[in-house]
Amino acid sequence: MKTPPADLAERLLDASEQVLFTDPPPRLEDVAQLVGASRATLYYYFSGRDDLLTFLLTAHARRGAAAIQGAINSDDPPELRLRAMVAAMAGYLGHHPGMCAGLLTALGTTGRLNDVLQANDIWIAAPLRELLADGRETKAFAVDDIADAANALLGAVLLGVLGRSISGADATDLRFQQRLSEQVVRGILTR
Amino acid sequence: MKTPPADLAERLLDASEQVLFTDPPPRLEDVAQLVGASRATLYYYFSGRDDLLTFLLTAHARRGAAAIQGAINSDDPPELRLRAMVAAMAGYLGHHPGMCAGLLTALGTTGRLNDVLQANDIWIAAPLRELLADGRETKAFAVDDIADAANALLGAVLLGVLGRSISGADATDLRFQQRLSEQVVRGILTR
DNA sequence: CCATGATTTAGACTGTAATCTGGACTCGGA
DNA sequence: TCCGAGTCCAGATTACAGTCTAAATCATGG
């Protein structure tokens, strides 16, 4: 992937929901038209459809990670930080259901789109695991295998949000995010 | 979809992990060869790739539902039933990571493969929701929106299992299923 | 045994979308 | 002005899903 110029990247990100959360998946030609470029240009910067998706999802992962970081007060105890983190995740995903869909697709494709998974692991999952480890240290969390717990937690948030988006309900509703966060965090807390 | 004869269906189900959990996704010709039939035969019974995937995932949903039902003692209180249900889900999925992948893909495609989602809703999600409603009745579970809670729960199990499969760890390990079930159920229980 | 219809197949054909090719257009520096 | 790197695009090529046909095979009742 040749990193695309800033303005093209911008327009691609702006169109990303159209690209990721549309049925049927748009042809590269349509994507090109959507961002005011030609199909060949996309192929100039990206080695193909998968590479483009990887770019979009990776960028979202970074943005999401930034949003999540911003929602956390690092002085708080682990339990509070976890609540904030999960709520922020749900918030970001709720505004970008396409990212949910894209991530799940990436998980489903087993290998292709590996870079997406890696990026998400670095930007989203790793901080979560770190937090879980912290909480385990202070006996706030009852976690045995941290990686497994993190996977389950992420899955709950992803499908919780996506399910709501698909059903037409409002996934950006704060009370919804609250409840989801509550359910997810309770699964981790020591009794 | 013309329902395929029993032996062909059998062979397709046997090959389903190859079909669902392979990278890159196999061409229809390869699938045909895998089950010892011709491409034309597949098109005789299925209207296309999506129809075939729908068949496989729907069949798995039914089998999974049967396995889950079999693991539940309907006289038990909701909490016990939920533990058993989640453990059975994890068990079935652990042995069929391809189903995890296929389901997630179906969720990611937003519309295409809708029948898969519907089948899973009927066979897997609906019983779960019913159980959650039961438990709420007896004050065993603290659930507000049952559909949302069920989505999150299913997501945790799906990604928990798939994540483990992808990482190469053994997703059929009983202790793993135990821990996953514990985490997921705790999120639901009243304090 | 034959007749009939259902199943299965090889193979040719079509259409669509991904991918590749070659060239054109910038623009900063020599 | 010329060069070359970076950028962009129109059109050719390729791969494969999907469609169709005509023939082969099988099953079953008469």
List helix spans (H) across chain A: 6-14, 16-20, 28-34, 39-45, 49-71, 78-95, 97-108, 114-120, 126-137, 146-166, 174-186
pLDDT band at A117 (very low <50, low <70, confident <90, very high): very high
Is A61 a residue whose pLDDT tops 90? yes
User: Which of A21, A103, A121, A183 to mutate to probe the B interface, most B CBs <10 Å?
Assistant: A183
Q: Residue A88: its pLDDT value, please?
A: 97
Closest CA to B162 of B86, B102, B84: B102
Cβ atoms of B39 and B27 closer than 8 Å: no
- Mean per-residue pLDDT, A126-149: 97
Q: Residue A23: its pLDDT value, please?
A: 80
Give me the half-sphere count of Cα atoms (radius 13 Å) on the Cβ side of residue A17. 8
Is A137 a residue whose pLDDT tops 90? yes
- What is the token pair recorded at B115? 């029948």
Q: Residue A2: its pLDDT value, please?
A: 82
- Mean per-residue pLDDT, A12-38: 91
Closest CA to B20 of B101, B81, B107, B114: B101
For every one of its 191 residues, what pLDDT tens digit does chain B have, with 9 covering 90 and above?
889 999 999 999 999 999 999 988 999 999 999 999 999 999 999 999 999 999 999 999 999 999 999 999 999 999 999 999 999 999 999 999 999 999 999 999 988 899 999 999 999 999 999 999 999 999 999 999 999 999 999 999 999 999 999 999 999 999 999 999 999 999 999 98
- Mean per-residue pLDDT, A128-148: 97
Domain ranges of chain A: 58-186
Contact between chains at A179 and B22 (C-beta distance less than 8 A)? no
Report the chain B residue with the minimal C-alpha distance to residue A121. Answer: B163
Closest CA to B152 of B72, B68, B86, B92: B86
* Nearest protein residue to the C1' atom of C21, measured from CA: A40
CATH class of A58-186: mainly alpha
- Mean per-residue pLDDT, A46-64: 94
Strand partners, A189: A141
List helix spans (H) across chain B: 6-20, 28-34, 39-45, 49-71, 78-95, 97-108, 114-120, 126-137, 146-166, 174-186
Among A44-53, A143-152, B181-190, where is mean pLDDT lowest?
A44-53
Report the chain B residue with the minimal C-alpha distance to residue A108. Answer: B101
Q: Residue A161: its pLDDT value, please?
A: 97
- Mean per-residue pLDDT, A93-119: 93
